[in-house]
Amino acid sequence: MPFTPLNLELETRTEQGLLRRRRLLDSPQDVHLLADGKPYLSFCSNDYLGLASDPRLTAAMQRGAAEWGVGSGASHLVSGHFSPHHELEVALAKFVGKPEALLFSTGYLANLGVVQALVGRDDGVFADKLNHASLNDAMLLSRAEVQRYRHNDVEHLALLLEKSTSKRKLIITDTVFSMDGDLAPLPELLALCEQHDAWLLVDDAHGFGVVGDQGRGALSNFGLSSPRIIYMATLGKAAGISGAFVAAEPVVIDTLVNQARSYIYTTASSPALSVALLESLNIIRVEGWRRERLQELIQILRAGLTELPWKLMSSATPIQPLLVGGNQDAVELSDGLRARGILVPAIRPPTVPQGTARLRISLSAAHTEADVNQLIEALHELAC
* Known binding-site residue numbers for pyridoxal 5'-phosphate: 107-108, 178, 206, 234
Helix or strand or coil: residue 253? helix
CB atoms < 10 A from the CB of 218, how many? 27
- Residues at the annotated binding site for substrate? 20, 132, 351
- Residues at the annotated binding site? 20, 107-108, 132, 178, 206, 234, 351
Rounded Cα distance, 92 and 292, in Å: 22
Q: Please, is 55 exposed, middle or buried when counting C-beta atoms within 10 Å of its C-beta (0-12, 13-18, 19+)?
A: exposed
Helix or strand or coil: residue 317? coil
The vertex-335 CA angle with 334 and 337, nearest 5°, equals: 65
Q: Please, is 197 exposed, middle or buried when counting C-beta atoms within 10 Å of its C-beta (0-12, 13-18, 19+)?
A: exposed
Helix or strand or coil: residue 210? coil
Q: Report how far apart, in Å, the C-alpha atoms of 339 and of each of 41, 220, 307, 331, 381 are.
A: 11, 41, 22, 12, 12
Backbone Cα Rg of the chain: 21
Give the 3-state secondary structure percentages of the chain, helix then strand then coil, rounded to 5: 45, 20, 40
Helix or strand or coil: residue 101? strand
CB atoms < 10 A from the CB of 155, how many? 9
Helix or strand or coil: residue 105? coil
Longest Cα separation, the chain: 61
Q: Decide if 181 contacts 321 (C-beta within 8 A).
A: yes
The vertex-211 CA angle with 193 and 288, nearest 5°, equals: 150
Cα of 362 vs its chain's centroid, Å: 12
